[in-house]
Amino acid sequence: MGNMKFKQALVFLIPSLAGLCIFYIIPFIGSLYYAFVSGDAQSRWVGLGNFYALFKSNMFLIAAGNTLMFMLIIVPVTIAISLIFSLLAWNSKGMEGIFRSVMLTTYVMPTVAVMLLWTMLFNRAGTINSILGILDLQPVAWMDGSNMRWPIIFMFLWKNIGFNMIIILASLNAMPKEVYESSLLDGAGWIKRQLYIVIPEIIPALIFVAIISMVNSLRIFKEAYILVGPYPTDSVYTLQHYMYNQFKVLNYNHVVASSLLFVLAITLIVGVLFIYEHRIKG
């Protein structure tokens, strides 16, 4: 029976898998060769030389550190806020649709337009600093130095929480109602119901949200690029900046080597999450 289901699933998966293979996997595997050759026209074999060069590169280490930092901040905060908003929406009878529509609006807005809006909010004479001025507080140079990461993180959260809410709300609506209603009859409070009844039921959805958020956080380059261009301050310099700039000076061997490390890191993290999910289900 299980085998039959797998075959049925495979039929539906084949078109997507074929696209992934043709446009992503095969080109990626084809490009792996370049991680082990020199970056000049002769393409001489250098073994692990490119990886050694990467770990000696100050900017690669900064980029990797920032990418990790963005992920560590964004993933838990995104999950927490999405979950809270989803629970509020789910528990507010009749308001769920409105909640969902409002939150999803941010997700469908073009990044460029959003970034321009956020630039107006966060620049030196922007709205945020005007409000701080009204409150008799010192203005903050949001767009300078290490402060620059916060507008990007805020923007990222604001833009992506709506999508995560849709996934969590779908999971909440699919949850069996019996257990929840029993807890109501037993007199469990709202917080206890959410912590001990609802959240354990939607763990698979939360893991999926975690994976999606993590993958998105690793691709935060677009936001940083629009805000500060390809040569930002160190605080928002990510792996994609490094790859983009290395490509422009034709160091494609470094681009591929760093991509390979990137793949290994993501595979490891996603693998751990899948194992965790598997154990919970088990």
Partner 1 sequence: MKRPVSIIIIVLISLFTVSCSITPMKTNTDSNDIKTESNGIKNDNKGTTSRKKTITINALVPKGNSNLWYYNNMGAVKLPEGIELNLLSTTDKDALAIEPDKIITKLLSHSNEFDIYFIGSDQEFAKSIVDKGYYVDLLQNDKLKAYFDKMYPQIKKWSMSGDKVFGFPTSLWPDAHMLMREEQLKKLDYSIDDLKTFADVLEFNNVWRSSKYRSEIGKGVYASMNEVFPYIIKSYLLSHYDYGRMYEEVDTKEFRDLLKGVKDLSKNTEFGDWNKFSSEQNYLSTLPVGIFNLYPIYLSQSDGGEMVPAPVPLVGSETPGKYSMPVSFYIINPYSDNIDAAMEVMVQIAEMSKHLGMRDLLYKDMESYQCDNKDCQYGDTLTKIYNDKKMFSYMENFYDKYEMYFAFPGMEDILVTCSDYMQDNITLDEAIEKIKQNISVVQRENAQ
Query: What span, in angstroms and rounded, lies between the C-alpha atoms of 204 and 107?
Result: 22
DSSP letter at 194 equals I
Give min distance, CB of 258 to partner 1, in A: 9
Closest CA to 243 of 226, 227, 261: 261
Q: Which two tokens stand for residue 234?
A: 């160190």
- Other beta carbons less than 10 A from residue 170's beta carbon: 13
77 in contact with partner 1 (CB under 8 A): no
Q: Which stretch binds partner 1 (CB under 8 A): 91-99, 103-111, 129-137, 248-256?
A: 248-256
266 in contact with partner 1 (CB under 8 A): yes
250 in contact with partner 1 (CB under 8 A): yes
DSSP states of 216-249: HHHTTHHHHHHHH-SS--GGG--HHHHHHHHHHT
Q: Which is nearer to partner 1, 75 or 87 (CB)?
A: 75
Query: What span, in angstroms and rounded, lies between the C-alpha atoms of 169 and 99?
Result: 11
DSSP letter at 146 equals G
Q: Which is nearer to partner 1, 103 or 226 (CB)?
A: 226
Give min distance, CB of 148 to partner 1, in A: 11
Query: What span, in angstroms and rounded, lies between the C-alpha atoms of 6 and 122?
Result: 50
Instruction: Give the CB-side neighbour count of residue 174, counting CA atoms within 13 A.
Output: 11
Give min distance, CB of 227 to partner 1, in A: 13
Give min distance, CB of 156 to partner 1, in A: 16
182 in contact with partner 1 (CB under 8 A): no
Number of residues that bind partner 1 (CB under 8 A): 56
| Interacting positions 37-66 with partner 1 (CB under 8 A) | 39-43, 57-59
- One character per residue 21-40, x = contact with partner 1 (rule: CB under 8 A): --xxx-xx-xx-xx----xx
Q: Which is nearer to partner 1, 192 or 222 (CB)?
A: 222
- One character per residue 187-216, x = contact with partner 1 (rule: CB under 8 A): ------------------------x---x-
Query: What span, in angstroms and rounded, lies between the C-alpha atoms of 221 and 243?
Result: 10
Give min distance, CB of 276 to partner 1, in A: 12
DSSP states of 152-190: HHHHHHHHHHHHHHHHHHHHHHHS-HHHHHHHHHTT--H
Binding site for partner 1 (CB under 8 A): 2-3, 6, 17, 20, 23-25, 27-28, 30-31, 33-34, 39-43, 57-59, 211, 215, 218-219, 221, 229-233, 237, 239-240, 242-243, 245-252, 255-256, 259, 262-263, 266-267, 270-271, 274, 278
